[in-house]
Chains A and B, each alone.
Chain A
Amino acid sequence: MKWGVVTFPGSNDDRDSLYCLERVLGQEAVPLWHKDRDLHGVEAIVLPGGFSYGDYLRCGAVARFSPVMSSVVAFARAGGPVLGMCNGFQILCESGLLPGALVRNRSLAFICEWVSVRVETTRTRFTARYAAGECLSLPIKHGEGCYVADEATLTALRDNDQIVFRYVNRAGEALDAANPNGAVQNIAGVTNANGNVVGLMPHPEHAVEALLGGEDGRRLFTSVFA
């Protein structure tokens, strides 16, 4: 399967994503430059983490209007699988492909740690190989990861099964103490109505080898192969 990983000025997990896909998972993966509208025939797209355009104005606000994003939006609207991790999630929300927004962590601190997240739905292109309710250990590293959405959006997310991951404690409970950044309802990741676009704050691409702390992130990618 051919994957594309977008590089914006300021992206810093693009190489890790390419490494994860090519070296660890044996996929064909090509870098996509932010100025390039041509998606080079890729079958799935990754928007990586980082600080695109220096996080100027708002995280993801400027990246959203880069040339490659008009092609990514068209690709996503046609049903193509798109995964946004961390800054990629922020860009997907800014571009309107995913509902809600991400704001400053309630602690005001940049957080870098491993967290537990619970898989809330397996109906997306990126979670088909997980079991509903399964708990994963994934790293987070962000300053603006507090997911917010208004009541109507939250109701729609629940009714349409669009909440993909929640921060949980070791017992798998989505309690406030297990919420690293203040995200509403402990939400760590969401999907669009079709389930082909997924965004999450944790970094599954950093959790694909036992040597680096765990392999729980692998199936986000292998789910798409199915």
Chain B
Amino acid sequence: MLAKVYVTPKKAILDPQGKAIAHSLHALDYPEVSEVRMGKYLEVRLAGLSKQHAEQRVEEMCRRLLANLIIEDFRFEIVEE
């Protein structure tokens, strides 16, 4: 089983990396880009759990370590491999 975890900066937090990337895209002639937010993507491989239990555990992992809820939001999906 694989948990795909997405961690992104909260809307209220300045994201200078996303801003710099958006500027570069504008310079490459993509004027349609209105905003870029840069986050992280993590793949967490899990063994020996039911899907329901895995969801509980991954939620906990996100809250305790993978995301800092002061500055980041997270979401995840769990897929069978």
- Is B70 at the interface (CB under 8 A from chain A)? yes
Q: At the interface, yes or no: A148 with Cβ under 8 Å from chain B?
A: yes
A-B contact pairs, 27 of them (CB 8 A): A57-B65, A57-B66, A58-B68, A61-B68, A65-B65, A93-B70, A94-B68, A100-B70, A101-B68, A101-B71, A103-B9, A103-B14, A103-B71, A105-B16, A106-B16, A107-B16, A108-B16, A108-B17, A108-B20, A146-B14, A148-B13, A148-B70, A148-B71, A149-B70, A150-B12, A182-B14, A182-B16
Q: Which of A107-123 contact B (CB under 8 A)?
A: 107-108
- Residue A104 CB within 8 A of the other chain: yes
Which residues of B, 58-77, contact A by the 8 Å Cβ criterion?
Answer: 65-66, 68, 70-71
Which residue on chain A has the smallest CB distance to residue B71? A101
CA–CA, A93 to B16, complex, Å?
21
Q: Top 3 closest A-B pairs, CB basis?
A: A101-B70, A101-B71, A108-B16
Chain B interface residue bracket vs A:
10 to 19
* Interface secondary structure of A, over-half rule: loop
Q: In chain B, what residue has the closest Cβ to A94?
A: B68
Are B70 and A150 in contact (CB-based, < 8 A)?
yes
Interface magnitude class on chain A: 10 to 19
Query: Beta-carbon contacts of B1-26 to A below 8 Å, as 1s and 0s?
Result: 00000000100111011001000000
Beta-carbon contacts of A180-198 to B below 8 Å, as 1s and 0s?
0010000000000000000
Measured CA separation A128–B58 after assembly (Å): 44
Residues of B within 8 A of A61 (CB): 65, 68
Query: Which residues of B in the span 1-59 have a Cβ within 8 Å of any Cβ on A?
Result: 9, 12-14, 16-17, 20
- CB-nearest residue of chain A to B20: A108
What is the minimal beta-carbon distance from B5 to any residue of chain A, in angstroms? Answer: 11
Which chain A residues in 85-107 approach chain B with CB under 8 Å?
93-94, 100-101, 103-107
Q: Which residues of the partner chain A approach B16 to less than 8 Å between Cβ atoms?
A: 104-108, 182
Known: A61-B68, A104-B17. 12 other contacts (CB 8 A): A57-B65, A57-B66, A58-B68, A101-B71, A103-B9, A106-B14, A106-B16, A108-B20, A148-B13, A148-B70, A150-B70, A182-B14
Q: Tell me the nearest residue of chain A to B69, going by C-beta.
A: A101
Q: Tell me, in angstroms, the Cα distance from A65 to B70 when the chains sit together.
A: 18
Chain A residues, CB < 8 A from B14:
103, 106, 146, 148, 182
How near does chain B come to A74, taking the closest CB pair, in angstroms? 18
Give CA–CA (A106, B17) in the complex, Å. Answer: 9
Bound-state Cα–Cα, A54 to B71, Å: 20
Return the CB mask of A146-187 against B: 1 if under 8 Å, else 0. Answer: 101110000000000000000000000000000000100000
Closest chain A residue to B66, Cβ basis: A57
Measured between alpha carbons, how far is A58 from B70 in the docked complex, in Å? 12
> Which partner residue on chain B sits nearest A182 by CB separation?
B14
Q: Complex: how many Å from CA A149 to CA B13?
A: 9
